[in-house]
Copies of this chain bind each other. A is one copy, B any other.
Amino acid sequence: MNGLNKKKKLNDKNILLSHGDGGLKTRELIDALIIKYFGNKILNKLEDSAIISELNSKIAYTTDSFVVKPLFFPGGDIGKLSICGTINDLASAGAAPIALSMGLILEEGFEIKHLEKILESASNVLKETNTFIVTGDIKVVEKNCIDKIFINTSGIGSISKNINISSENIKPGDKILINGSIAEHGLAVLSSRPEFNFKTNIVSDCAPLCSLVKDMLDISDKIHALRDATRGGIASILHEMANVSKKRIDIYEELLPIKKEVKSLCGFLGLDPLYIANEGKIIVFADPYDSDKILRTMKKNKYGIDSRIIGEVSENFEKSAVIYHTKIGTTILVDSFYSEQLPRIC
């Protein structure tokens, strides 16, 4: 969301759901109010993790609130999601997590057994990634003043001195990699809502990607940019990265891994998988010289078995753009999403 901090006035008088979905309305709100009041050199970059280099070591710092509905879905729950989300934001900055915080806001009457399930699930990710929550807060509000439980996590991570991961570093010729198939998280959450009447076997890809990123950074110093493709899907993330780097990005349908079931459900519901949220997918921009080596390394990690090279970067001639090449040979200009297709998916 860089380069969007021109001073603007909001036309809306009231908050809309779309002000919180990470799309264009969210950017309007950020431009009109957040940058206006809080603008500073680090925040204005609007990266998922802020990089603070005042200390002796470079620090990444990130925060996210989780309001997913329902709390439990195939492949995860709000607890697992809240840890993975923050770890993945740090990983996307090339940072190894040092410590996390967790703020719980609970509804009076919320069942303790559900809270316990959520916390246990969060703790499983912490154990797997050898990460620790070091500070936290609990608030409870009266019944009907919150929908069950919201979780905020923040995280700090350390970035090795030689690592400089940023969308600004994307170069013409860079290969674009992804660690597996897309659009599963959004559909898994959607399909677990009571109003949804289909039965699917789609499971959220929710996963912590710090080990995958570490593996990659260990064997290559030619990784230029990383981004986890959450709200808005890979389309919005690629669109943003093209904008920031002022490059042209080409991706290819025949290279992009999408599970058959995801394709059918999207076709049936009229949803575009490119725009559906993932919670365990990272997009990698790397020098073509290292891309095969990085791909082999990714495939060895359990969260990268289905990794693929899905496209490449070239110089932009007129303006930055993301071009999607379909199997039948047509090209589609990929836009950012104006509004999230599925609210409260994280």
Binding site for B on A (CB under 8 A): 10, 12-22, 26, 29-30, 33-34, 36-38, 40, 42-43, 47-50, 52, 54-57, 59, 61-67, 98-99, 101-113, 115-116, 119-120, 122-123, 126, 132-142, 144-147, 150, 152, 154, 156, 158, 343-344
Q: Complex Cα distance A126/B108, Å?
A: 33
Q: Complex Cα distance A186/B145, Å?
A: 20
B112 touches A13 (CB 8 A): yes
B19 touches A106 (CB 8 A): yes
Q: Which 7 A-B pairs have the closest CB atoms?
A: A20-B140, A50-B134, A152-B152, A63-B101, A37-B123, A56-B56, A145-B147
B29 touches A150 (CB 8 A): no
| Chain B residues within 8 Å of A12, by CB | 112
| Chain B residues within 8 Å of A139, by CB | 20, 65-67, 150
Q: Complex Cα distance A34/B151, Å?
A: 14
Contact of A52 (CB < 8 Å), options: B10, B30, B134, B343: B134
B37 touches A120 (CB 8 A): yes
| Chain B residues within 8 Å of A142, by CB | 17, 147, 343-344
| Chain B residues within 8 Å of A21, by CB | 140
Copies of chain A in the complex: 2
| Chain B residues within 8 Å of A137, by CB | 63-65, 152
A98 touches B55 (CB 8 A): yes
B152 touches A103 (CB 8 A): yes
Q: Given A134-B43, A154-B101, are A14 and B145 also a contact pair (CB < 8 Å)? A: no
B61 touches A101 (CB 8 A): yes
Contact of A102 (CB < 8 Å), options: B63, B108, B122: B63
B49 touches A158 (CB 8 A): no
A144 touches B141 (CB 8 A): no
| Chain B residues within 8 Å of A55, by CB | 55-57, 59, 98, 158
B106 touches A20 (CB 8 A): yes
Q: Given A98-B55, A139-B20, are A106 and B147 also a contact pair (CB < 8 Å)? A: no
Can you report 8 residue pairs joining A to B where beta carbons are below 8 Å apart?
A15-B107, A15-B111, A16-B108, A33-B112, A33-B119, A49-B135, A142-B344, A152-B154
